Amino acid sequence: MSITIVLFAAGAFAQSQKEMLYSKDPKLAKNKQIVYDFWRSVLEGGHLELAPKYMLETYIQHNPNVPTGRQGFLDFFSKFAKALPIADTIKENLISIVAEGDLVVLSFKEVHPDPKDPTKTYVTTSFEMLRIENGKFAEHWDSALKQ
């Protein structure tokens, strides 16, 4: 197991974002692409006007900081979203995209200040999981804590 951790930490399993979108199952590949495009255009690109293309109006939000419903999402993110050119890839440090059934999970590498020593940082992983229904997001979970 320690060899696996060392190889992973060394980036031996790194793959391009384009490779992460691949699936033998066309439906899973499509679901991955929907999440990927939403992330690039709406979240990172700030194009909130595109949210209806990706989200059901009845979207269920499990992040304790963001209201549920598409309008709740828009109200929350409109406070700080700024429209930018849409990048070809996700800007955050994306580790993986996994799809199974109607779920798609994005995993990200994050670096944070060490709460015990502000001169140091530590690395951890966060996730975003979305349930797709009829080609749009129906539900979202993540690792966020209430702020």
The pLDDT tens digits for 132-145 are: 999 999 999 998 88
Residue 6's SS3 state is helix
Nearest to 73, CA basis, from 48, 102, 110: 48
Rounded distance between C-alpha atoms, residue 75 and residue 34, angstroms: 22
Beta-carbon contacts of 42 under 8 Å, excluding residues fewer than 6 positions away, are 48, 50, 51, 54
Residue 14, pLDDT score: 60
Tens digit of each residue's pLDDT (9 = 90 or more) over 105-119: 999 999 999 999 999
Give me the pLDDT at residue 62, please. Answer: 96
Assess whether pLDDT exceeds 70 at residue 5.
Answer: no
- What is the structure's pLDDT at 106? 98
Q: How many CA atoms are closer than 13 Å to the CA of 83, on its beta-carbon side? A: 5
